[in-house]
A = this chain, B = another copy of it.
Amino acid sequence: MRELCLPFSLEPHDIRQLDELVATRQRLKKGDILYRAGDSFASLHAVRQGSTMTTVLAEDGREQVCGYHLPGDLFGLDGIDNGRHKGQSIALEDSEICAVPLERLEELARHVPALQRNLHRFLSREIDRDHNIMLLLGSMRAEERLAAFLLNLANRYRQRGYSSTEFVLRMTREEIGSFLGLKLETVSRLFSRFQQEGLIQAQGRAVKLLDVTALKQLAGHRC
């Protein structure tokens, strides 16, 4: 959990207590579902290894990808409200996920103000993140969305000490499309076009960013 936001600036003693909370450490295979809509909610989840994707489903079956989570990310907060998950979470590759029981986390937060604050910070960041995605979905064109998506990934890989210009996507074109509010063919065409224009080099899911400046310009400096 050290890499997560929750322990930030906590006393060593409190960090130890927080570590003890992390009850289960679950291994998932690619495609495994961690929870479904309607499942009872009890814990936040943290990616330790691998990656996951969270989605919401409409009644008519349409699906919207809401999040793409890399190691160190915390997710699965929908459901605090009524104790039932609203969306679902699926492993994009073989992954290891930690569960943090909310009730015990709240208990600890009551005694450790810094932890309480970090938890709120985290929830607030999640809301900010969603607002940015709403901006993306509501007012950006297809090419701008993909550019923003790639730059967002670049930043997150950099933060984690990986190459920010060369990485392997774990989502299919269709999943990326769902995340960005586009159809898979549109995503595929954009990858081809970006490549033609020398912005990226891509073969399948392996991507290399060649012209980050141009991508930033496309994305409106939003990343």
Q: Name A's B-contacting residues (CB within 8 A).
A: 56, 58-60, 62-64, 66, 77-81, 86-87, 102, 106, 109-111, 113, 116-117, 120-121, 123-128, 130-135, 137-140, 178-181, 220-222
Contact = CB atoms under 8 A, between A and B. Distances in A.
Contact of A77 (B79, B109, B127, B134): B127
| Chain A interface, >50% SS class | helix
Given A77-B127, A106-B120, A116-B110, A139 B220 contact: no
27 contacts: A56-B134, A56-B135, A58-B135, A58-B139, A58-B222, A59-B220, A60-B220, A62-B220, A77-B124, A78-B124, A78-B127, A78-B128, A80-B124, A81-B125, A81-B128, A86-B128, A106-B117, A106-B120, A109-B116, A110-B110, A126-B127, A127-B127, A130-B130, A130-B131, A130-B134, A133-B134, A137-B138
Contacts of A220: 58-60, 62
